Amino acid sequence: MRRMSTTGRPRLRFRRVRGVTLIEVLVAFLLLSLGLLGMSAMHINALQNKHSALQRSQASMLAHFKMDALRANREAAIAGQYNLGALVCTPPADTNLVTHDQRTWLLAMRATLGDANTTCGLVACVAGGGSTRCH
């Protein structure tokens, strides 16, 4: 039996709707897609930063390698024989200890950082004040 309203019409009882609508599903899918897109962008950025950090670490290792060679042949370094004067991209001929160290260093840079025409090195040592500074 239906209950009658005060106006004489039967009251309709609305059932609760269960489940989700298509619009709610689409909004949820959109939010999920944006979240996954953001996560993939962060992953790509992390990979790029990892590669950059690896290259910086390798360049630092090669700089220490060169400084060890300068310390081992201190007299030649103080005399300025290791100075290259300008960026050198082609390894010099292996004729003495200084050119051997320079060649080994440049070849190690090419092997580690990439064998390209832009893989170059520069050594500039300045003696003075009882010490030698190299850049």
Say what the pTM is: 0.63
**For 128-135, what is the mean pLDDT?**
71
The domain of 128 spans 22-134
Cβ-based neighbour number of residue 69 at 10 Å: 20
User: What is the pLDDT, as a whole number, of residue 72?
Assistant: 92
In a domain, residue 16? The reply is: no
Structure tokens at 94: 């292996």
Is the pLDDT confidence value at 49 over 80? Answer: yes
82-to-1, 48, 62, 64, 90 alpha-carbon distances in Å: 106, 35, 15, 15, 15
90, part of any domain: yes
User: Into how many domains does the chain fold?
Assistant: 1
Max mean pLDDT among 30-34, 105-109, 130-134 falls in 30-34
Instruction: Check pLDDT > 60 for residue 55.
Output: yes
Residue 15 lies in a domain: no
In a domain, residue 11? The reply is no
In a domain, 80, yes or no: yes
The amino acid sitting at 95 is T
Residue 127's pLDDT is what? Answer: 72
